[in-house]
Amino acid sequence: MATQACPACGTLHDVGIYVSGKRIRCRACGIPFTVQRAESLVAARAFRSRHAVIRQPSRPFQPPARSSARQRKAADTTPSGGSLFVPGYQIKEMLGKGGMGRVYRALQVSLDRWVAIKVLNEDLAKHHSFIRRFEKESGALASLNHPNIIAIYDRGCHEGVYYFVMEYVGGPSLRRRMHDGLKVRECVQIMSTLCKAVAHAHRRSVIHRDIKPENVLFTEEGVLKVADFGLANIIAPDGRWELTRTRVSMGTVNYMAPEQRRDAKHVDGRADIYSLGVIFYEMLTGEFPVGRFQPPSRLRPGLDPRLDRIVMRMLESQPSRRPQNADLIAATLDSWLQEAGKPEANRQGAASADSGQSTSPRTSGRPR
Burial zone of 311 (CB within 10 Å; 0-12 exposed, 13-18 middle, 19+ buried)? buried
CB 77 within 8 A of CB 93: yes
- Please calculate the CA angle 140-160-6 and round it to the nearest 5 degrees: 75
DSSP assigned state of 344: G
Domains of the chain (ranges, CATH numbers): 3-45 (no CATH), 81-167 (3.30.200.20), 174-346 (1.10.510.10)
CB 23 within 8 A of CB 32: yes
As beta bridge partners, residue 158 has 161
Active site residues: 210
Query: Would you tell me how many other CB atoms lie within 10 Å of the CB of residue 357?
Result: 11
Closest C-alpha among 321, 268, 316 to residue 289: 316
Predicted local distance difference test score (pLDDT) of residue 299:
94
Predicted local distance difference test score (pLDDT) of residue 30:
63
Predicted local distance difference test score (pLDDT) of residue 351:
44
As beta bridge partners, residue 23 has 34
What distance in Å separates the CA atoms of residue 230 and residue 212, rounded to the nearest whole number? 13
Q: Using only the alpha carbons of the chain, give its radius of gyration.
A: 25
Predicted local distance difference test score (pLDDT) of residue 4:
80
Burial zone of 131 (CB within 10 Å; 0-12 exposed, 13-18 middle, 19+ buried)? middle
What distance in Å separates the CA atoms of residue 270 and residue 315, rounded to the nearest whole number? 10
28-31 contacts at long range (C-beta below 8 A, 24 or more positions apart): 28/245, 28/247, 28/248, 29/129, 29/245, 29/248, 30/129, 30/245, 31/6, 31/7, 31/127, 31/129
Predicted local distance difference test score (pLDDT) of residue 279:
97
CB 134 within 8 A of CB 119: no
Q: Answer positive or negative: Cα dihedral of 296, 301, 305, 306.
A: negative
Burial zone of 10 (CB within 10 Å; 0-12 exposed, 13-18 middle, 19+ buried)? exposed
Closest C-alpha among 3, 264, 22, 9 to residue 127: 9
Burial zone of 182 (CB within 10 Å; 0-12 exposed, 13-18 middle, 19+ buried)? middle
What distance in Å separates the CA atoms of residue 212 and residue 278, rounded to the nearest whole number? 8
Q: In which residue ranges of the chain is pLDDT below 70? A: 1, 7-10, 28-31, 37-82, 230-251, 343-368
What distance in Å separates the CA atoms of residue 296 and residue 316, rounded to the nearest whole number? 14
DSSP-derived pairing of the beta strands 101-108 and 113-120: antiparallel
Predicted local distance difference test score (pLDDT) of residue 242:
40
